[in-house]
């Protein structure tokens, strides 16, 4: 059978063309960077190599910059300030206040609603919002809240095995879940 009689794979040709165009544009960028580096008479080969390897990078624009997050540089100061703030409050208030900074707006709303419910209603809320949990806790799922979720799931395990498994699977999709789980393991 002749190659000319085979069917033409247009998708494959299009992908190959796009790849060739990308390679060509990268080649052009690197070539221009080489010429610039020679014109600038860079002092070492390492400097030359860095200029060529970074040729495809673009400078950050104003929209690309993230907001600054204020993080205390001294963790002992942070812990002492938390202790001072929470001296005259109940344990549930301590949990809520320590987590408020870690929750998005939707996470705060969910947690406020969560605290007002009894054990059965907590699981029902957790089950009804299971698909939204990764979005609700898009910043982070705090350790204390994870522990509360696990306790509620454990208490509802005998009658609702598949529902509990479904909720637990969704909890694992929350942002920074592995880190939260590691912290919970250290607390236990």
Tokens of 137: 């806790």
Tell me, what's the pLDDT at 96?
47
Q: What is the pTM of this model?
A: 0.44
For residues 158 and 152, the model is more confident at 152
User: CB of 136 within 8 A of CB of 129?
Assistant: yes
15: pLDDT strictly greater than 90: yes
138: pLDDT strictly greater than 80: no
């Amino acid at each position: 059978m002749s190659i000319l009689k085979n069917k033409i794979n247009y998708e494959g040709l299009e992908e190959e063309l796009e790849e060739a165009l990308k390679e060509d544009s990268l080649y052009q960028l690197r070539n221009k960077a080489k010429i610039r580096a020679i014109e600038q008479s860079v002092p070492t080969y390492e400097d030359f190599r860095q200029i060529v390897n970074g040729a495809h990078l673009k400078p950050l624009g104003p929209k690309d910059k993230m907001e600054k997050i204020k993080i205390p540089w001294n963790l002992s100061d942070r812990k002492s300030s938390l202790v001072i703030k929470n001296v005259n409050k109940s344990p549930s208030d301590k949990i809520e206040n320590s987590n408020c900074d870690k929750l998005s707006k939707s996470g705060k709303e969910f947690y406020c609603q969560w605290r007002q419910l009894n054990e059965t209603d907590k699981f029902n809320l957790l089950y009804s919002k299971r698909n939204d949990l990764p979005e609700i806790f898009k910043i982070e799922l705090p350790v204390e809240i994870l522990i509360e979720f696990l306790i509620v799931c454990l208490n509802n395990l005998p009658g609702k095995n598949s529902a509990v498994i479904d909720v637990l699977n969704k909890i694992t999709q929350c942002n920074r879940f592995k880190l939260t789980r590691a912290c919970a393991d250290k607390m236990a």
